[in-house]
């Protein structure tokens, strides 16, 4: 099953609500992921451009887009960035396929 990383940032109202009424946001994210037929690998908070990230296994890119759309539509979370991520074996396959594709591609400078 494809693996995705989604970076997110909470709205000011969400941050205020979590401070005043702490809840397990990992559990909420897990319920969302499971509703899309996936599993949650990790849920972390962080500092920097984003407030946290979620690593998921989802059936496909459509499910990953649906996750971002569902969360983004609430207005509670923004700056969503989702990327498919690849393990070592998948990276090896990518490189092998790129070698084949490179032979078939003719760049505009050729």
* pLDDT of 110 strictly over 90: no
Report how far residue 3's alpha carbon sits from residue 21's, in angstroms, rounded to the nearest whole number. 31
Report how far residue 48's alpha carbon sits from residue 41's, in angstroms, rounded to the nearest whole number. 21
* Confidence bin at 77 (pLDDT 50/70/90): very high
| Domains observed in the chain | 3-104 (3.30.70.260)
pTM, two decimals, is 0.90
Beta strands in the chain (DSSP E): 3-10, 39-45, 52-57, 77-85
Mean pLDDT of the 10-17 span: 96
Q: What pLDDT shows up at residue 7?
A: 98
What digits encode the pLDDT tens for the residues 15-65?
Answer: 999 999 999 999 999 999 999 999 999 999 999 999 999 999 999 999 999
Mean pLDDT of the chain: 96
Burial of 49 (0-12, 13-18, 19+ CB in 10 A): exposed
* pLDDT of 93 strictly over 90: yes
Q: What pLDDT shows up at residue 82?
A: 97
Taking the alpha carbons at both ends of the chain, their separation in whole angstroms is 38
């Amino acid at each position: 099953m494809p693996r995705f990383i989604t970076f997110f940032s909470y709205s000011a109202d969400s941050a205020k609500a979590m401070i005043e009424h702490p809840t397990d946001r990992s559990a909420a994210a897990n319920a969302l992921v499971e509703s899309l037929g996936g599993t949650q690998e990790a849920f972390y908070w962080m500092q920097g451009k984003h407030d946290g990230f979620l690593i998921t296994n989802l059936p496909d890119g459509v499910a990953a887009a649906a996750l971002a759309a569902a969360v983004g539509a609430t207005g509670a979370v923004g700056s969503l960035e989702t990327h498919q991520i690849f393990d070592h074996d998948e990276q090896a396959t990518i490189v092998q396929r790129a070698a084949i594709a490179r032979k078939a591609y003719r760049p505009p400078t050729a």
